[in-house]
């Protein structure tokens, strides 16, 4: 069976994963604050809506819708217009986080169905699980979310906020369930210059890149740079 590919349209990124995310997959996007998780995910929805007639839903659990709209306008992405045209929906659940996960998932599902959306971003998983102290609660939540996503029939990006200085990617469960894991890393090079590189840690059914790739966030959004990170550079950065 041929796996259908869902392109992100992010310059040079799709080439790293055989043309795009596998159809119906759940992708974890992990990284430190400021790594570019929101930018990457918003670009995935924006390109989907403007180039591939793919409608999308962006769920803000962490920042407010207003902040999201304003920041995305800096890249020239007018989500307000797309929303008016019925091509995307931005759900601000930052205030109703306490309403309970099931209720919030119902709201997301209703929006996805009424829009006939095929792309979904949840920003962020960490914000939803805040307040859940017991691992068992987190487990229940992940399974609820996973079942929901499989039913939603879409490609979803689940953002995981990685706290500064930590190397663990998730809580140990979502990584196994995910169809793909992208790690966005920020670091300082030997000249103390702030740099970014990404790694694809997992992408089911895909012969994905095995190298780290430098990327940047420019006025156009997320772009993969030409340069692969050399081994000596990597060693220096890891020292
Ligand atoms: N208009 C812009 N031009 C260039 N870089 C930008 C612009 N807007 C944001 N950035 C960069 O992107 C970073 C924020 O990216 P974001 O996607 O919000 O990260 P995350 O969601 O991972 O916290 C900022 O810290 C800044 O370095
Ligand atoms: Mg963010």
| Tens digit of each residue's pLDDT (9 = 90 or more) over 31-65 | 999 999 999 999 999 999 999 999 999 999 888 99
- Asked whether residue 105 is domain-assigned, the answer is yes
The total domain count for the chain is 1
Q: β-pairing, 221-228 with 26-31? A: unpaired
Q: Higher model confidence: residue 106 or residue 20?
A: 20
- Asked whether residue 12 is domain-assigned, the answer is no
User: What percentage of residues in the chain have a pLDDT greater than 70?
Assistant: 89
Q: Nearest to residue 20, comparing CAs of 56, 39, 48, 42?
A: 48
- Asked whether residue 171 is domain-assigned, the answer is yes
- Asked whether residue 102 is domain-assigned, the answer is yes
The answer, yes or no, to whether any atom of ligand 1 lies below 6 A from the CB of 167, is no
Instruction: Answer left, alpha or beta for residue 116, where phi above 0 means left and psi between -120 and 50 means alpha.
Output: left
Q: Which of 24-28, 83-87, 140-144 reaches the highest mean pLDDT?
A: 83-87
- Asked whether residue 159 is domain-assigned, the answer is yes
pLDDT at 234 over 70: no
Q: Which of 89-98, 167-176, 180-189, 224-233 reaches the highest mean pLDDT?
A: 180-189
pLDDT digits over 60-80, tens only?
Answer: 988 899 999 999 999 999 999
Ligand nearest to C-alpha 36: 1
The answer, yes or no, to whether any atom of ligand 1 lies below 6 A from the CB of 115, is no
- Asked whether residue 143 is domain-assigned, the answer is yes
CATH assignment of the domain containing 68 = 3.40.50.300
Residue among 36, 40, 60, 124 to mutate when testing ligand 1 (max atoms within 8 A of CB):
36
pLDDT at 106 over 70: yes
Tell me the mean pLDDT in the region 132-161: 83
Tell me the mean pLDDT in the region 100-116: 88
181 Cβ contact partners less than 8 Å away, ≥ 6 residues apart: 27, 28, 30, 169, 175, 200, 201, 202, 203
Q: Mean pLDDT, the chain, as a whole number? A: 89
- Asked whether residue 213 is domain-assigned, the answer is no
Locate 26 and state its tokens.
Answer: 């759940």
pLDDT at 232 over 70: no
Quickly tell me which residue has 């609660």 as its tokens. 137
123 Cβ contact partners less than 8 Å away, ≥ 6 residues apart: 37, 38, 41, 58, 59, 60, 61, 62, 63, 159
Q: Nearest to residue 127, comparing CAs of 159, 150, 105, 103?
A: 159
In this structure, of 2-11, 102-111, 154-163, the range with the lowest mean pLDDT score is 102-111
**pLDDT grade for 128, boundaries at 50, 70 and 90:** confident
Ligand nearest to C-alpha 217: 1
188 phi and psi angles, rounded to 5 deg: -110, 130
The residue segments making up the domain with residue 96 are 23-182
DSSP 2: P
The answer, yes or no, to whether any atom of ligand 1 lies below 6 A from the CB of 34, is yes
The answer, yes or no, to whether any atom of ligand 1 lies below 6 A from the CB of 36, is yes
121 Cβ contact partners less than 8 Å away, ≥ 6 residues apart: 41, 42, 44, 45, 56, 57, 58, 59, 156, 157, 159
- Asked whether residue 191 is domain-assigned, the answer is no
């Amino acid at each position: 069976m041929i796996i259908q590919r869902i392109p992100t349209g992010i310059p040079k990124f799709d080439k790293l994963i055989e043309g795009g995310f596998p159809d119906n997959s759940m992708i974890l996007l992990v990284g430190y604050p400021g790594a570019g998780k929101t930018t990457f995910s918003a670009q995935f929805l924006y390109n989907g809506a403007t180039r591939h007639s793919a409608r999308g839903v962006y769920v803000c659990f962490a920042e407010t819708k207003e902040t999201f709209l304003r920041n995305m306008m800096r890249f020239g992405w007018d989500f307000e217009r797309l929303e008016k045209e019925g091509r995307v929906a931005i759900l601000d659940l930052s205030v109703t986080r306490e309403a309970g996960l099931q209720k919030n998932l119902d709201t997301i599902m209703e929006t996805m169905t009424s829009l006939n959306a095929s792309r979904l971003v949840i920003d962020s998983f960490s914000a939803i699980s805040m307040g859940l102290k017991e691992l068992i609660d987190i487990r229940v939540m992940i399974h609820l979310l996973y079942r929901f996503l499989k039913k939603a029939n879409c490609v979803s990006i689940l953002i995981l906020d990685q706290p500064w200085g930590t190397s663990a990617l998730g809580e140990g469960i979502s990584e196994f369930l995910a169809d793909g894991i992208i790690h966005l890393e920020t670091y300082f090079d030997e000249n103390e210059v702030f740099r970014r590189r990404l790694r694809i840690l997992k992408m089911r059914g895909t012969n994905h890149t095995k190298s780290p790739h430098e990327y940047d966030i420019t006025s156009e959004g997320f772009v993969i740079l030409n340069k692969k990170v050399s081994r000596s550079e990597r060693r220096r950065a890891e020292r």
